[in-house]
Amino acid sequence: MITMPSIDMVATGKNIARMRKAAGLKVKDLQALFGFATPQAIYKWQHGAAMPTIDNLVALAMIFGVSMEDIIVLKIDAREKICA
């Protein structure tokens, strides 16, 4: 049995918000860097309502100077097991 991890979207969103603030960036700054018309996507990421796409996650990691693994928070639920 292999326990499959899943992404904790709320904790990941909190990480994004924390790293953004630590980098001295405002939501509007990230909006401009990504070229988004509105900041809604960033707010959704920070609240755990949505996850950044892989390419946006790569960009966030570069902006924050961390690895993607530092941004993503995994949770392992003992009830979710996959037979290998």
Among 20-24, 37-41, 65-69, 73-77, where is mean pLDDT lowest?
A: 73-77
Question: Range of 39's domain?
Answer: 2-82
Calpha distance 51→57 (Å, rounded): 9
CA R_g for the chain:
14
pLDDT of 84 > 50? The answer is no
User: Using 50, 70 and 90 to split pLDDT, how confident is the model at 59?
Assistant: very high
pLDDT of residue 38: 97
- Please give the structure tokens belonging to residue 16: 């994004």
DSSP notation for 11-37: HHHHHHHHHHHHTT--HHHHHHHHT-S
Number of domains in the chain: 1
Task: Write the CATH number for 16.
Answer: 1.10.260.40
Calpha distance 57→78 (Å, rounded): 27
Nearest to 30 by CA among 57, 2, 70: 57
pLDDT digits (tens, 9 = 90+) for 14-43: 999 999 999 999 999 999 999 999 999 999
Contact 19, 71 (CB under 8 A): yes
pLDDT of 11 > 50? The answer is yes
